[in-house]
């Protein structure tokens, strides 16, 4: 039996073989009620453990660990066309999930994790979610549980192992290692972790702010390829799909022409983008102010930087202070889908973002920041917002959080909306209709699909 069939069977199983849905929900609620959490926004002294470094003009901590906050400017024709703070965190961390067959069904070892910026207390996280500063213990605390499995991952069958981008509108060239390993040995499960099927995780994704961003990005990398199936498995898989068009999209023939067209446009953007950029001291950004309680833009902007005092029980370190990026509203992230010749397709767009590791990536149909001018939307964005407001064709719509270790109470409206085959007509430049297999082929490589698109794809249901 191939791992591909194991994964689809786990996706189809919402009853569970290690935990029932009721047990998972009770566990999440219990930990949310009983773990001590205290997050307070406080004044930023600019000369404490976190301080303004006059040499660089960045905010950093005295141990030179974790991250820095720098200024960023984008320049076109010798004029500054955009400036904002960005998070500098060049180290690559682990986002890792252990999976194992329990009762004949693949289960994933998930963590009920508290992050300081979570809009709620607990969210469902990977087995290990650790920056390099965390797992090298720069904070002086203990190492994350289960870390050794990923440090010795070559001993185990690998399902996913990719270095993928983070939010490029806030981070500067940030990436993490997304990895899923398969084990067959006994594992002691500590109270913060629980086994569950992929189907149970997908059910929890239907609920606001339950499954965190890191879980979603790791699961988005799972490869689905009919070439890897054993004889007669394709029919068994098809029987598990209620959405036959999605099955055809995932396991149908590879469309090389579509893949080449998307890469051609992506490479054009990388090659001919008219802007350049530079990192600058925070104080040199004329449209931003370093205030006692925040770093904020003088005009409406999508976020600001705040400083928080944090106390969280059961963390490797239970008390600390740090800057967090606080959203000034809710971003709209959306994916149009249609069925053409029996195959489900998705509308994606090539998008340059200021912190992209390689200039641009493939993004969702819609990626509108809180302060995006709604009157300047193109025909795709205008149709999407109209349908979302009316609830027309909405296959799923859920509020989901950004990563709570760096972002404070940032949540996005994630929705997938179905349109008819000809409803959009001629597309604006940079948009493409693609099948799931094309996107799944691209996600096997680094820096092709942005994190917003990867996260949206995990919301699909069989």
**462 residues of the chain, pLDDT tens digit each:** 899 999 999 999 999 999 999 999 999 999 988 888 888 999 987 778 899 999 999 999 988 888 999 999 999 999 999 999 999 999 999 999 999 999 999 999 999 998 889 988 899 999 999 887 666 655 556 788 999 999 999 999 999 999 999 999 999 999 999 999 999 999 999 999 999 999 999 999 999 999 999 999 999 999 998 888 888 899 999 999 999 999 999 999 998 899 999 999 999 999 999 999 999 999 999 999 999 999 999 999 999 999 998 888 766 667 788 999 999 999 999 999 999 999 999 999 999 999 999 999 999 999 999 988 766 789 999 999 999 999 999 999 999 999 898 999 999 999 999 999 788 988 999 999 999 999 999 999 989 999 999 999 999 999
Whether residue 229 is contained in a domain is answered as yes
Do 263 and 208 share a structural domain? no
The CATH number of the domain holding residue 136 is: 3.90.79.40
- Per the rule left: phi > 0, alpha: psi between -120 and 50, beta: everything else, 433 is beta
Query: Where does residue 455 rank: exposed (0-12), middle (13-18), buried (19+ CB within 10 A)?
Result: buried
pLDDT of residue 302: 95
Whether residue 398 is contained in a domain is answered as yes
Do 443 and 355 share a structural domain? yes
Whether residue 52 is contained in a domain is answered as no
pLDDT of residue 374: 67
**Helix H or strand E segment including 160:** strand 158-165
- The span from the CA of 435 to the CA of 417, in Å, is 15
Q: How many domains are there within the chain?
A: 2
Do 258 and 232 share a structural domain? no
Whether residue 55 is contained in a domain is answered as no
| Nearest CA-CA partner of 106 in 38, 188, 198, 191 | 198
Do 386 and 256 share a structural domain? yes
Do 232 and 182 share a structural domain? yes
* Full domain range(s) for residue 220: 3-35+90-242
pLDDT of residue 47: 79
Do 208 and 335 share a structural domain? no
Do 396 and 338 share a structural domain? yes
- The span from the CA of 177 to the CA of 17, in Å, is 29
Strands 411-418 and 331-340: parallel
Kindly list the distances between the CA atom of residue 78 and the CA atoms of 274, 276, 279, 287, in Å, as whole numbers in the listed order. 11, 9, 15, 17
Whether residue 319 is contained in a domain is answered as no
pLDDT of residue 315: 61
Whether residue 298 is contained in a domain is answered as no
Tens digits of residue pLDDT in 71-115 = 999 999 999 999 999 999 999 999 999 999 999 999 999 999 988
Whether residue 43 is contained in a domain is answered as no
- The span from the CA of 85 to the CA of 65, in Å, is 18
- The span from the CA of 304 to the CA of 38, in Å, is 21
Q: Given 242, 262, 296, which residue is the final one in a domain? A: 242
Do 271 and 409 share a structural domain? yes
Q: Given 242, 260, 285, which residue is the final one in a domain? A: 242
pLDDT of residue 303: 96
Do 152 and 94 share a structural domain? yes
Do 266 and 178 share a structural domain? no
Do 422 and 350 share a structural domain? yes
Whether residue 185 is contained in a domain is answered as yes
Kindly list the distances between the CA atom of residue 156 and the CA atoms of 84, 98, 107, 125, 312, in Å, as whole numbers in the listed order. 43, 10, 16, 21, 33
Do 417 and 336 share a structural domain? yes
């Amino acid at each position: 039996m191939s791992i591909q069939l194991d994964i689809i069977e786990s996706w189809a199983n919402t009853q569970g073989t290690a935990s029932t849905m009721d047990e998972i929900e009770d566990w999440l609620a219990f930990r949310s009620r009983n773990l001590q959490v205290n997050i307070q926004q406080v004044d930023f002294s600019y000369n404490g453990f976190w301080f303004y470094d006059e040499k660089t003009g960045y905010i950093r901590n005295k141990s030179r660990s974790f991250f820095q906050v720098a200024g960023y400017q984008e320049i076109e024709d010798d004029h500054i066309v955009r400036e904002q703070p960005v998070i500098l965190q060049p180290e690559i961390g682990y986002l890792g999930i252990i999976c194992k067959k329990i009762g004949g069904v693949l289960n994933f070892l998930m963590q009920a994790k508290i992050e300081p910026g979570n809009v709620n207390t607990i969210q469902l996280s990977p087995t290990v979610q650790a920056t390099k500063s965390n797992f090298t213990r720069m904070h002086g605390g203990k190492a994350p549980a289960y870390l050794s499995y990923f440090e010795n991952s070559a001993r185990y069958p690998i399902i996913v192992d990719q270095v993928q981008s983070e939010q490029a509108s806030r981070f500067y060239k940030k990436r993490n290692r997304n990895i899923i390993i398969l084990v067959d040995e006994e594992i002691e499960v500590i109270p913060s972790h629980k086994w569950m099927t992929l189907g149970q995780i997908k059910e929890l994704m239907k609920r606001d702010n339950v499954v965190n961003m890191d879980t979603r990005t790791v699961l988005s990398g799972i490869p689905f390829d009919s070439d890897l199936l054993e004889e007669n498995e394709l029919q068994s898989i098809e029987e598990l799909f209620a959405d036959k068009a999605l099955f055809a999209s995932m396991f149908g023939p590879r469309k090389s022409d579509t893949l080449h067209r998307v890469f051609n446009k992506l490479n054009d953007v990388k090659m001919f983008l008219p802007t350049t950029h530079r990192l600058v001291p925070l104080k040199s950004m004329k449209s931003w102010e370093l205030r006692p309680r925040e770093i904020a833009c003088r005009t409406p902007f999508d976020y600001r930087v705040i400083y928080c005092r944090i106390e969280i029980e059961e963390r490797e370190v239970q008390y600390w202070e740090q800057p967090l990026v606080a959203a000034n509203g809710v971003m709209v992230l959306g994916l149009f889908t249609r069925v053409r010749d029996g195959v489900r397709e998705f509308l994606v767009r090539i998008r340059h973002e200021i912190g992209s590791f390689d200039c641009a990536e493939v993004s969702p149909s819609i990626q509108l920041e809180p302060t995006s001018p709604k009157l300047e939307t193109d025909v795709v964005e205008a149709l999407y917002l109209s349908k979302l407001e009316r609830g027309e064709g909405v296959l799923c719509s859920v509020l989901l959080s950004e990563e709570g270790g760096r972002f404070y109470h940032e949540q996005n409206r994630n929705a997938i909306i179905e349109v008819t085959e000809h409803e959009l007509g001629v597309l604006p430049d940079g948009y493409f209709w693609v099948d799931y297999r094309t996107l799944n082929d691209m996600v096997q490589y680094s820096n092709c699909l942005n994190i917003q698109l990867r996260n949206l794809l995990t919301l699909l249901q069989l």
